[in-house]
Amino acid sequence: MLDKPFAVGDFIVVGDAMGSVEMIGLKTTRVRGLGGEQIIFSNADLLKSRIHNQQRMQTRRVAFFLRVTYATSEEQLRAIPAMVREAVEAEPAAMFERVHFCAYAESSLDFETVYHVNSADYLIHMETQQAIFLTLFARFTRANIEFAQPTRMVRLVDTAAGAGEADGEWDGESENLRRLKRPARTS
């Protein structure tokens, strides 16, 4: 505690607890949590923990993913990085770092974006992020680019009607599964 990793008024994160430091005593430190509750740490426990002092931040790094549907055309995919860059650069508190098409996910095509907010103030960070998201929503809507949602395809077979492989329908088993069920050959 002699290093003074935080002071009264600093916003700290310790494990899953976070809040503003209210009092630093000889044996305990009191923090006011986001929900209004008081969190009391023994100073011995604090010294053993990793403390994130967000009050001493100068900038905030922000990373987020945009997920679009597989129905997105190549032309639309190529336009997304420029749309994102323009949306970030339009915000005075934001400094654009990068945007990349980064993954063919299970139900989406994913773009990762990284930018920095030139302030430690959480409210400025959230207002900047909201403005970027609203701009992207409007731009994607105008360009007919759809945001992806997790999807699954389920095939149902009407077994009561006697449909089966002879009719060209799937019977619920793959050829690989049928091979595994066949009796082993003996010589």
- The kind and range of the H/E element at 136 are helix 122-142
Helices (H), 19-111: 43-48, 74-89
8 A C-beta contact, residue 20 and residue 39: no
* 60-142 CATH: 3.30.70.100
116-168: pLDDT as tens digits: 999 988 889 999 999 999 999 999 999 999 999 987 778 888 776 655 555 55
Q: Which CATH code fits 11-55?
A: 2.30.30.60
Report the C-alpha gap between 46 and 16 in whole angstroms.
Answer: 13
Domains 11-55 and 60-142 share a fold: no
What pLDDT is recorded for position 171? 57
CB 69 within 8 Å of CB 148: yes
pLDDT exceeds cutoff 90 at 55 = no
Length of the chain: 187
Domain edges within the chain: 11-55, 60-142
Q: Does an H or E element contain 73, and which? A: none
Query: Is the pTM higher than 0.85?
Result: no
